[in-house]
Amino acid sequence: MKYLIVGLGNIGAEYAHTRHNIGFDVLDALAGASNTIFSPDRYGDRAEIKHKGRGIILIKPSTYMNLSGKAVRYWLEKEKIPLERLLIITDDLALPLGKTRLRGKGSDGGHNGLKHIQEVLESTIYARLRIGIGDQFQKGHQVDYVLGRWEDDEIEELKLQIEKSTKAILAFTTIGLDRTMSEFNR
């Protein structure tokens, strides 16, 4: 059984380890824990890990955030993975740092990456793990904030959030969406 896990972010050194790229950072941690590395592939960098008999395909799209749907659709079709085995990892301004929310459907919440995915898939019914990045920015400076690097005093909480997120991904592939939501949304 195969699963597709897509971490949202932007390619390029200027975006590495910014708040908006937490999806990439989570997948890097998951791949690293499995001694797996990403390789360039169509519409993104790809890695594959095994966990309890499941094949887990990790994709970091190279389409930039606002066109993430192209990569998601391509890999779903190429790997013949149904929507119920897709999980999107993304940042969320509406959640404080330290909070994560796993959902099986919902709106894009103003997130351009999710908006494009929903347009391309013509569905809002797919799992997404939203990782809180907080909203500690002055009015008119949202872009600077999400594309900004983490503050020193946020790093420890960020590490915990990434670790929790990798556990949630593995749980999603083994115990399913509903049980994983019950466990990780507390």
Active site residues per annotation: 20
Interstrand relation of 2-7 and 86-92 (parallel, antiparallel or unpaired): parallel
Closest CA to 168 of 181, 158, 156: 181
Question: Rounded distance, CA 128 to CA 114, Å?
Answer: 9
Closest CA to 19 of 147, 159, 152, 151: 147
Task: Give the DSSP per-residue string, 1-62.
Answer: -EEEEEE----SGGGTTBGGGHHHHHHHHHHHHTT---EEETTEEEEEEEETTEEEEEEEES
Q: Is residue 44 a contact partner of residue 7, using CB atoms and an 8 Å limit?
A: no
